[in-house]
Amino acid sequence: MRRVIAQGTFDILHPGHVHYLSDAAAMGDELHVIIARGENVTHKPKPILDDRQRCDMVAALDVVDEAHLGHPDDIFVPIERIAPDVIVLGYDQHHDEEGIRAALEAREIDCEVTRATPREPEYDDELLSSGRIIDRIVERRC
Q: In this structure, how many other beta carbons lie within 10 angstroms of the beta carbon of residue 53?
A: 14
Mean pLDDT value across residues 76-93 = 95
Query: How far, in Å, CA of 131 to CA of 45, rounded?
Result: 9
Whichever domain contains 41, its CATH number is 3.40.50.620
Entry pTM: 0.94
Could you list the residues known to form a binding site for ATP, using ranges: 9-10, 14-17, 92
Mean pLDDT value across residues 96-110 = 93
Range of the domain at 118: 3-141
Task: Quick: pLDDT tens for 106-119.
Answer: 999 999 999 999 99
Mean pLDDT value across residues 27-40 = 97
**Could you give the number of structural domains in the chain?**
1
Could you list the residues known to form a binding site, using ranges: 9-10, 14-17, 92
5 close to 32: Cβ distance less than 8 angstroms: yes
Amino acid at 26: A
Q: What percent of the residues of the chain are helix, what percent strand, and what percent coil, each to the nearest 5?
A: 35, 15, 45
Per-residue pLDDT for 138 more than 90?
Answer: yes
Q: Could you tell me where the DSSP H helices lie in 90-129? A: 97-106
Per-residue confidence band for 86, with pLDDT thresholds at 50, 70 and 90 = very high
